[in-house]
Structure 1
Amino acid sequence: MRHLACPEWGRIAVAQKGAQGALSPREALALEQAARSHPLGGRDGCAILTHYRDHVKVGQLVGVLSAPGISLEILPKIDPASHLDNRSSLRARLVSLIDLAHDLRLAEGEAAAMARGAETLLDLFIRIFATRLATQARQGLPRHYLAREDDLRALRGQLHATRQFTVNAVRPDRLACRYDELDADIPLMQVMACAIVSLRRRTRTLSTARLLDELRYAFDDVTLLPPNRLPWQAITIERSNKRWESLLKVARMLLGQDWQGTGHKGSAPRGHSLLFPMNDLFEKAVATLLRRGLADAGYDVRTQDQSRYCLRENSRDLFQMRPDIVIRKNGRTVAIIDTKWKPLDADHLDRGHLDQNEHDAGGEPASLSGKGGVSQGDVYQMMAYGQVHDCAQLMLLYPARPGSGSRMLRSFTVHPDGERTLSIAAVDMAASPRASARALRDLIVQSLDRTRPSPRQRAA
């Protein structure tokens, strides 16, 4: 199988065989079919990629899209000026975002260490899964008491009287027994066994394949089920198997049973795709960091809050609002954050000036608006959030260039009364999770310190 890599919103040429770094027409059609069949593909698969005559353009999903004979790895464009030269670093940063968004609880530096030897993001996650499963298996597989019925030579447990005096009536050497037996053949272990076999067929790394082969022997007594028959609903995480919780999340993601739909339907092309919308990853990662940073300050951080509506007609609420992140304290909304995974031209996010390096059609220095790439629609949306939630502090949060640090870029007052504030900020997701959580906490506290009560709060 051939493998290519591309950044989000990037392009790959479609040419005849022999062109380096390009797709053949057959490979482009195969990827297009895989995109159409994927749950995140949207209409005609255009949410993942669009197939033009001479090139393929990918969307804002990251991960691996697989089709017969070809796999395409889409990496995040964290730094607009960067290239795909250091893929292991980009994969490690992406895994860090996925870890925060899905609470996989990876050890700090675990992804970076494994990313050096991984060929794709999928290989990296398979390696993480196999390594962590081996660690847990060495400590012993969880076992539950399972009810058994069998005909034995000696009594074990209780006598099944009905069966004994009917089926075994002519077999005095057999006793119909009902008993409980500790067994590892439970739903949680059946998921792990299925993941071992399924991922063994997909890994491209020899060391990972060898580790999965060794694990198969450890799970030899566990019933092997196909992915579409796994008993997900029967799995219960409790105190006795709590250490398996994060591993179960990784298995669920790799076997295609979580929200991003990594699996394919039966009619889909062969291959294993693992795709994530970057907007959702960024939003969930920021929410996780905010919860960590504000945990001891009494703030409640919620994502996709659906408690308010824009309009009401005849006692019926219409047009439900879903802000990305809502921060509450003592039952009152104190801040609303909308996350935007796109580069912000922070250098031009000022009060407007004449740029001597850029010129208009008449040759005069260009006049910059000071918007710096902030969408007018995004501002309108934040105004609606502030009005309906009666919130005085609003924020648009963008990713900062790696290494530039998290900082407040600009703060505006909202017309006409100036009682609300819209802040523009950037967070450096390339920093360690602990540092990013502290930086986000400082940004929020800094914003709240400047916040005045909203008009409704002052009237009360």
Structure 2
Amino acid sequence: MTSSQSLRITERDEKEFDLSEEDLRHLASFDEIEVKRSGSGMPCVSVSNHVGVVGLPSGKLLEIHPKAPCNLLHYLAYIGDIDDELVRGTDASVLTGGSFVDLIAQLYLHEVETVLKRGLNREYLVEESSEKHLRGQLDLQRQLQRQGVAPKKFECRYDELSTETRLNKILLDGLHRLRPLVTDSSTRSDVNRYYGRLQQYVSYERMSLRDIESVALTRLNEYYEDALQLAKLIFEQAFVADLSGHNRRVQSLLINMESTFERVVCRAVKAVIDTEYYNVRNDSIGYLARSESGAGHLSMYPDFWIQNRTEDVVLVGDAKWKTGTEPSRNDFYQLAAYQAKYGASGVLVYPNLEGEMTDTYTYVTGNGTDAGRGELRTIEIETEDGASYDQFVRTVEETVRDNLPESQ
């Protein structure tokens, strides 16, 4: 795939592209993507808070880059979507000079190589074949159907040690899904090479997330674990569209940056809070209003909130994956509603914006007096992609620890 077949856009931006009607219809089929016409009549594409790649019917790829610089692999490892051992020691930048899918492919190839070195999983599977000599058990029904009254062969059913196992088929399908999405020529060559190697031992079959989740690893095949974790990520994010009138499938891989960032922040808060005295939660904090009949309305879901040992709410927080120079009015309103219900402190967490969003606020009434809520602090956490994974973890957790408002 040449570089001319790769189109680039940044999440939450819009950009004009000269694309065929078929490509535009395919893009418009995604909830995360909007297609419209600009003032000049050119097709204009805008993307929500997702990053990754979208395969187009023409063979082109639309690469969607994050608004704030980050190492998405570090994010995914920190929240447990991939094994953190896979990213330790790597300095790969994600969607900054390189495709996220290419990096996932490189990690996946490493795990496939590990499996091949250890040896492909083998299991005794039931085989059926026509043999000159009886082997295993005679399949009487097939014998009568195929050989008739003057048989020349035996229709046999027997157990044979085979590499045609679910584990190996998942491994092969992961490579199959990556093939049309990889943009780097060297990585693409490696994906095709490993695909060919595996096909010598296992036939291709479309697998599913249910297949991955049904695998029970044992002491004998536990070395597949990291490969399965990456395969699950690939399978979860691969949205396959059968194009009307065309016998082809177009694959895409999209990651929701807003929910991913929220999970990173919540994970960091849980890591630094003393669980002996506090409980960090991310479920409903209650209702905003209650009707005269007693029914609650408008459940409130901050990204995280903290209770003390007596179950008082002492802090509510929201993570905001956005760029700008100051918190938006809606950011304040949303958190103010949570704080007003419990008189608690609040915190808004943003990606690193060089200190532009860091500040402390006090709510006031119309006459300038305290509004009965705790303070609101806005903080930023490091999202740059240059640090090692261990440094990333230290920086994120130290930033959260040093900037959470006082809980009492």
Q: TM-score, normalised by structure 2?
A: 0.74
* TM-superposed deviation, 1:397: 0.7
Partner residue in 2 for 1:32: 24
Partner residue in 1 for 2:338: 385
Q: How does 1:106-185 map to 2 (within 5 A)?
A: 106-110=86-90, 112=92, 118=98, 120-144=99-123, 146=125, 183-185=162-164
Q: Does 1:423 align with 2:377?
A: yes
Residues 412-435 of structure 1, C-alpha deviation per residue, up to 9 Å, x if partnerless?
357645452211111111155544
- The aligned amino acid for 1:410 is T
Residues 158-183 of structure 1, C-alpha deviation per residue, up to 9 Å, x if partnerless?
x89999xx999999x9898776x654
* TM-superposed deviation, 1:36: 1.6
Partner residue in 2 for 1:64: 53
Distance 1:326 1:281 in 2: 18
Residues 260-319 of structure 1, C-alpha deviation per residue, up to 9 Å, x if partnerless?
x6333444986432222321222122233334444877765444x236333344454332
Distance 1:422 1:395 in 2: 6
- 1:376 is aligned, of 303, 310, 329, to 329
* TM-superposed deviation, 1:225: 1.2
Partner residue in 2 for 1:279: 258
Partner residue in 1 for 2:215: 236
* TM-superposed deviation, 1:121: 3.0
* TM-superposed deviation, 1:144: 4.6
Distance 2:100 2:266 in 1: 23
Q: Does 1:74 align with 2:64?
A: yes
Residues 193-215 of structure 1, C-alpha deviation per residue, up to 9 Å, x if partnerless?
12223433443444334433443
Change (3 A) 1:230 1:97: closer
Distance 2:164 2:344 in 1: 55
Distance 2:347 2:322 in 1: 15
Partner residue in 2 for 1:17: none
Residues 143-162 of structure 1, C-alpha deviation per residue, up to 9 Å, x if partnerless?
45556788996887xx8999
- The aligned amino acid for 1:342 is K
Contact 1:151 1:176 in 2 (8 A): yes
Contact 1:409 1:424 in 2 (8 A): yes
Contact 1:420 1:451 in 2 (8 A): no
Q: Which 5+ residue runs of structure 2 have no aligned equivalent?
A: none
Change (3 A) 1:223 1:263: same
Contact 1:335 1:393 in 2 (8 A): yes
| Residue identity (%) | 22
- 1:221 is aligned, of 197, 201, 204, to 201
Contact 2:350 2:357 in 1 (8 A): no
Residues 354-390 of structure 1, C-alpha deviation per residue, up to 9 Å, x if partnerless?
xxxxxxxxxxxxxxxxxxx2222222211222344x3
Partner residue in 1 for 2:359: 409
Distance 2:117 2:303 in 1: 41
* TM-superposed deviation, 1:322: 2.0
3-state SS of paired residue (2:335): helix
- The aligned amino acid for 1:63 is G
Change (3 A) 1:253 1:35: farther
Contact 1:294 1:441 in 2 (8 A): no
Change (3 A) 1:444 1:335: farther
Contact 2:357 2:378 in 1 (8 A): no
Distance 1:242 1:324 in 2: 35
Q: TM-score, normalised by structure 1?
A: 0.67
Change (3 A) 1:101 1:285: same
Distance 2:156 2:356 in 1: 70
Distance 1:104 1:376 in 2: 35
- 1:264 is aligned, of 224, 238, 241, to 241
Distance 1:178 1:293 in 2: 57
Residues 109-135 of structure 1, C-alpha deviation per residue, up to 9 Å, x if partnerless?
4361798995x3333322332232222
Change (3 A) 1:213 1:149: same
Q: Which 5+ residue runs of structure 1 have no aligned equivalent?
A: 15-22, 79-89, 346-372, 453-460
**Alignment coverage as a number of residue pairs:** 384
Partner residue in 2 for 1:52: 38
Partner residue in 2 for 1:306: 284
Contact 2:340 2:373 in 1 (8 A): no
* TM-superposed deviation, 1:336: 2.2
Partner residue in 2 for 1:367: none
Contact 1:95 1:111 in 2 (8 A): no
Q: Does 1:336 align with 2:326?
A: no
Change (3 A) 1:64 1:391: farther
Question: More relative contact order in 1 or in 2 (CA 8 Å, sep 6+)?
Answer: 2
Distance 1:130 1:395 in 2: 41
Distance 1:334 1:238 in 2: 42
* TM-superposed deviation, 1:445: 4.3
3-state SS of paired residue (1:207): helix
Change (3 A) 1:327 1:414: farther
Q: Does 1:93 align with 2:71?
A: yes
Distance 1:242 1:140 in 2: 12
Contact 1:289 1:436 in 2 (8 A): no
* TM-superposed deviation, 1:236: 2.8
